[in-house]
Amino acid sequence: MVACIDAALAAQNAALAAESMDLGICYIGGIRNNLPEVSAILNIPHRVIPLFALVVGYPKNRSDKKPRLPLSNIYHENGYQEDKQEFIGQLEGYNETISSYYELRTKGKRKDTWTGQMAGMLGKKSRLYMKDYVEKQGLKKH
């Protein structure tokens, strides 16, 4: 877990540095769809696991900033504060915001909400090969 956190911190610093130089970035967690193939292409050694890719380049277009979840949903000071009703209300508000953002960006094609997306993602099993892969890479704790 510490290694994953370190890698994410390093990547985010690289992302900030790139953006400060007018470059654009995109994290690609999609590489975890097929880590055996990615590992072969990248010559990944034993006991190493790719977590995500970070693509860097000069963007053709500058897209609008994606609307964020309300800060009070994700940021807590000196302890976790959760008023469930308030939380649900805020998520409903965010669903409307993000839905309009997607509609605008896709000229009406995409009609998702955030909660719909999360329910879809968490409601199905995915990347079932992962446990095997992690063990094969030699990271199984006995």
Ligand X SMILES: Cc1cc2nc3c(=O)[nH]c(=O)nc-3n(C[C@H](O)[C@H](O)[C@H](O)COP(=O)(O)O)c2cc1C
| 101 burial level (CB within 10 Å; 0-12, 13-18, 19+) | middle
State yes or no: residue 66 binds ligand X (CB under 6 A). Answer: yes
Helix (H, G, I), strand (E, B) or coil at 112: coil
Name which of 71 and 84 has its Cβ closer to ligand X: 71
State yes or no: residue 27 binds ligand X (CB under 6 A). Answer: yes
Alpha carbon distances (Å) from 50 to 12, 69, 109 = 15, 28, 33
Residues near 95 by beta carbon (within 8 Å), at least 6 away in sequence: 113, 114, 115, 116
| 133 burial level (CB within 10 Å; 0-12, 13-18, 19+) | middle
The minimum distance between CB 29 and ligand X, in angstroms, equals 3
State yes or no: residue 62 binds ligand X (CB under 6 A). Answer: no
Helix (H, G, I), strand (E, B) or coil at 25: strand
Q: Contact, 32 vs 7, CB < 8 A?
A: no
Window contacting ligand X (CB under 6 A); options: 22-30, 40-48, 91-99, 102-110? 22-30
Both tokens of 55, joined, read: 């693509």
The minimum distance between CB 85 and ligand X, in angstroms, equals 27
State yes or no: residue 123 binds ligand X (CB under 6 A). Answer: no
The minimum distance between CB 34 and ligand X, in angstroms, equals 12
The minimum distance between CB 66 and ligand X, in angstroms, equals 4
Name which of 13 and 81 has its Cβ closer to ligand X: 13
The minimum distance between CB 107 and ligand X, in angstroms, equals 18
State yes or no: residue 28 binds ligand X (CB under 6 A). Answer: yes
Residues in the site for ligand X, rule: CB under 6 A?
26-30, 52, 66
